[in-house]
C-alpha cells in the first residue's frame, strides 16, 4: 500500500507585645488570651504615647528613677509594675540573658509529655486527593513509608500496592499543557503483509476479503440500514486465537522481530492514545515479553446484555459498510445476510518515539487514485448532529476516528449520518489530517498530546516488564492510573509463536 502522498499530522505599624512562655502554661494562657490581649494593647499604647506627651514626662522620669534606685542597691530587677489608670503592665526580663537564673536552670529534658495528634476518623475518605493516605496532613499516617516516585515530573510511578498481583502503576497526573510541550515523533506507517478471514472462519494470507469503495454513495441517501438485520451474523469473540492469526501472518511473511518492541492489534493502541482525554472508559490488555518483544493481547471486558436497539445500532455500522462498497451483498439472498466475521487485516510497521511497533489493523475498504495507487478508506456511522450533540461528537467520536485512521495511515474517513430510525440522511468525507485542525481551533483536543501520552506509557511499560513474564495492563475505576498486574499464564497462541520462531 502506498502512503507517499499522505500527510501525517504530528503535530507606620501597630506593635503588639509578644510573651515567651513555657509549653506547660499554654493551656492556661489560652483561657485568658482575650483579656490579657486587651490589657497588653492598652498598656503598650500608654507606653508608646508617654514620651511624646508633656503630661507623661514626670511618669517617665519616675520610672527611670525607680529602676536606677533598684540597680544601685545591687538587686536583680525581676519585673517593674507600672500602674497607669486601671491597667497594669508587667515588663519581662530578657529570656536569654546571662542574668536570667530561670533560663540557666532549665533542664535538658522537658517535664511535659510529647503531644500526640488525634487519629483520622476515616481511612477511606475518597474525597481527598490522596485517597486517605495522610499526605495532606501535618504528619504522614503511621505504618506508611514515604512515597518513592520515579518517572517524568508529575507522571509518577509507584511500586507499592496491597494486591499480591500488583507490579507497578503509572499515575495520570501530567497536564495537557505539559504533554503538549513534548514532541513524540511518529513514523509514517508502512504495510508489510496482510491476511483475510472468510465466512467459514478460514484465514488466508492475501487480500481476498478486501472490498473496493463505491464512490457514488450519495445515491444511497434515504436507505434503511435495518434491512437484513434478522439474518445478521454477529462477530465472534476469538480471544487469543485472533491474535494467533496476526502472529501466523508475521511468520508467513518472514517479518523480522529482532528490533521490534511491541506487537499488537491496533485496537490496543487506540485505547492507550484515547486515554489521554477519555478518562471514563475501562480497558484491559495482556502484556507478555518474549525475546525482547512485548506482545499486547486484546482482552474483552464483560459487557452488559445488549438490548435489541443496541444490536441494531451495531448492525447499522456493518450495513453501511456493505452499502458503500462494490462487493455489495444482496441482503436476504438464499437466506444469508451480512457476516461480521469476514474481514481484511493489514500488517503495518511504524515507530512511536523510540519504540518500533508491528500492528494488525482491520481495514474497511480501499480506493485508488487516477494513476492507480491504492489507499485505504475508513467507514463510520453516526447519529445526525444537532446543537446538543455536536460538541460531544467532536470531543470524543472525532478523537477516536482520528486515532484509528492516523495510526494506520488511512487518509480518508467516510461518515454516514443516520436518524434514530436507522435511515441514512447524509454522508461526509473528511481527510484525517483535517480533523486535528478542526478541533484545534475549539481547543477540544490535540493529536500531539495523544502521541506524547502514548510515548510515556510505552517507556514505562517496556522498562517495567521482565523477560518471560506475563502481566495484565488495565485502566479501571477510579480512572486515576494505569495498573500493571501479574498474570497467571501466557496465551497458547503466543507460546506457540515463540516456539516456532526458535525452531
Q: Is the pLDDT of residue 28 over 60?
A: no
pLDDT at position 101, please?
64
How is residue 86 written as a grid cell?
486601671
Q: Would you give the distance in Å from CA 336 to the centre of its chain? A: 44
Decide if 469 contacts 215 (C-beta within 8 A).
no
Evaluate if residue 21 carries a pLDDT over 50. no
Per the prediction, the chain carries an average pLDDT of 78
Contact 90, 81 (CB under 8 A): yes
% of the chain exceeding 70 in pLDDT = 66
For residue 240, the SS3 value is: helix
Q: What's the sign of the alpha-carbon dihedral 375, 381, 387, 391?
A: negative
481/156 Cα distance (integer angstroms): 10
Q: Looking up cell 501466523, which residue turns up?
A: 248
Mean pLDDT of the region 192-208: 95
Provide the pLDDT confidence category of residue 23 given band limits of 50, 70 and 90. very low
The answer to whether 350 touches 357, Cβ cutoff 8 Å, is: yes
Which residues have CB under 8 Å from 410's CB, separation 6+? Answer: 363, 375, 376, 377, 378, 404, 432
CA distance 496 to 30: 77
State residue 78's pLDDT score.
Answer: 42
Under 8 Å between Cβ of 309 and 489? no
Q: Above 70 in pLDDT, residue 424?
A: yes
Taking residues 266-271, report their average pLDDT: 97
Phi and psi dihedrals of 178, rounded to 5?
A: -65, -45
What are phi and psi for residue 152, nearest 5 degrees?
Answer: -115, 110
Q: Which of 44-48, 116-120, 171-175, 307-311 has the lowest mean pLDDT?
A: 44-48
Kindly indicate the confidence band of residue 105, based on its pLDDT and cuts at 50, 70 and 90. Answer: low
Does the pLDDT at position 309 exceed 80? yes
pLDDT of 393 reads 96
Q: How far apart are alpha carbons 294 and 467 in whole angstroms? A: 9
Helix (H, G, I), strand (E, B) or coil at 250: helix
Q: What's the pLDDT tens digit per position in 397-412?
A: 999 999 999 999 999 9
pLDDT for the residue numbered 58: 43
* 422 upstream amide cis, omega within 30 of 0: no
Q: Say which residue, 184 or 110, is predicted with more confidence.
A: 184
Neighbours of 478 (CB within 10 A): 8
Q: What percent of the chain has pLDDT over 90?
A: 54
Predicted confidence (pLDDT) per residue in 426-441, tens digit: 999 999 999 999 998 8
Q: Please state the φ and ψ torsions of residue 28, each to the nearest 5 degrees.
A: -65, -35
Residue 331's pLDDT is what? 58
Say how far apart CA 182 and CA 451 lie, in whole Å: 9
Residue 268 has pLDDT above 50, yes or no: yes
Q: What confidence tens digit (pLDDT) does each residue in 335-370 have? A: 467 999 999 999 999 999 999 999 999 999 999 888
At 226 the pLDDT is 93
Q: What's the rounded mean pLDDT across residues 181-188? A: 92
Mean pLDDT, to the nearest integer, of 67-72?
43
312: enclosing H helix or E strand: helix 308-323
pLDDT in tens, 271-288: 999 999 999 999 999 999
Boundaries of every domain in the chain: 23-104, 178-502
Residue-level pLDDT at 291: 95
Amino acid at each position: 500500500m502506498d502512503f507517499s502522498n499522505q500527510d501525517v499530522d504530528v503535530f507606620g505599624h501597630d506593635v503588639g507585645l509578644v510573651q515567651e512562655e513555657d509549653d506547660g502554661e499554654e493551656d492556661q494562657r489560652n483561657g485568658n488570651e482575650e483579656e490579657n490581649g486587651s490589657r497588653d494593647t492598652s498598656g503598650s499604647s500608654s507606653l508608646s504615647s508617654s514620651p511624646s506627651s508633656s503630661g507623661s514626662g514626670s511618669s517617665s522620669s519616675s520610672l527611670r528613677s525607680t529602676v536606677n534606685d533598684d540597680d544601685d542597691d545591687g538587686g536583680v530587677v525581676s519585673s517593674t509594675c507600672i500602674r497607669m489608670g486601671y491597667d497594669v503592665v508587667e515588663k519581662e526580663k530578657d529570656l536569654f540573658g546571662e542574668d536570667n537564673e530561670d533560663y540557666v536552670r532549665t533542664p535538658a529534658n522537658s517535664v511535659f509529655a510529647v503531644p500526640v495528634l488525634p487519629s483520622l476518623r476515616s481511612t477511606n475518605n475518597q474525597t481527598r486527593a490522596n485517597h486517605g493516605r495522610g499526605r495532606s496532613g501535618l504528619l504522614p499516617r503511621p505504618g506508611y513509608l514515604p512515597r518513592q516516585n520515579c518517572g517524568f515530573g508529575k507522571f509518577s510511578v509507584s511500586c507499592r500496592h496491597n494486591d499480591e498481583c500488583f507490579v507497578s502503576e503509572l499515575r495520570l497526573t501530567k497536564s495537557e499543557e505539559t504533554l503538549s510541550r513534548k514532541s513524540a515523533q511518529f513514523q509514517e506507517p508502512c504495510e508489510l503483509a496482510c491476511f483475510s478471514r472468510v465466512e467459514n472462519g478460514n484465514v488466508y494470507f492475501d487480500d481476498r476479503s478486501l472490498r473496493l469503495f463505491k464512490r457514488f454513495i450519495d445515491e444511497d441517501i434515504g436507505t434503511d440500514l435495518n434491512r437484513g438485520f434478522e439474518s445478521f451474523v454477529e462477530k465472534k469473540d476469538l480471544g487469543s486465537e485472533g491474535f494467533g492469526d496476526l502472529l501466523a501472518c508475521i511468520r508467513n511473511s518472514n517479518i523480522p522481530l529482532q528490533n521490534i518492541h511491541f506487537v499488537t492489534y491496533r485496537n490496543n493502541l487506540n485505547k492507550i492514545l484515547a486515554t489521554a482525554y477519555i478518562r471514563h472508559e475501562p480497558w484491559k490488555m495482556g502484556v507478555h515479553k518474549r525475546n525482547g518483544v512485548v506482545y499486547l493481547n486484546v482482552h474483552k471486558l464483560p459487557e452488559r446484555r445488549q438490548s435489541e436497539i443496541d444490536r441494531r445500532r451495531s448492525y447499522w455500522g456493518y450495513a453501511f459498510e456493505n452499502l458503500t462498497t462494490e462487493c455489495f451483498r444482496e441482503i436476504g439472498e438464499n437466506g444469508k445476510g451480512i457476516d461480521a466475521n469476514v474481514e481484511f487485516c493489514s500488517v503495518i510497521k511504524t515507530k512511536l518515539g523510540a519504540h518500533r511497533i508491528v500492528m494488525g489493523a482491520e481495514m474497511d475498504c480501499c480506493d485508488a487514485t487516477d494513476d492507480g495507487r491504492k489507499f485505504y478508506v475508513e467507514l463510520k456511522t453516526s447519529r445526525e448532529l444537532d446543537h446538543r450533540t455536536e460538541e460531544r461528537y467532536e470531543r470524543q467520536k472525532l478523537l477516536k476516528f482520528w486515532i484509528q485512521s492516523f495510526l494506520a495511515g488511512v487518509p480518508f474517513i467516510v461518515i454516514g449520518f443516520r436518524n434514530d430510525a436507522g435511515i441514512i440522511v447524509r454522508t461526509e468525507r473528511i481527510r484525517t489530517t483535517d480533523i486535528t485542525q478542526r478541533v484545534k481551533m475549539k481547543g477540544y483536543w490535540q493529536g500531539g498530546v495523544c502521541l506524547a501520552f502514548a510515548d510515556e506509557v510505552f517507556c514505562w511499560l517496556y522498562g517495567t516488564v521482565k523477560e518471560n513474564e506475563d502481566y495484565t495492563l488495565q485502566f479501571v475505576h477510579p480512572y486515576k492510573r494505569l495498573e500493571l498486574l501479574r498474570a497467571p499464564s501466557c496465551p497458547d497462541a503466543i507460546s506457540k509463536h515463540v516456539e516456532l520462531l526458535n525452531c
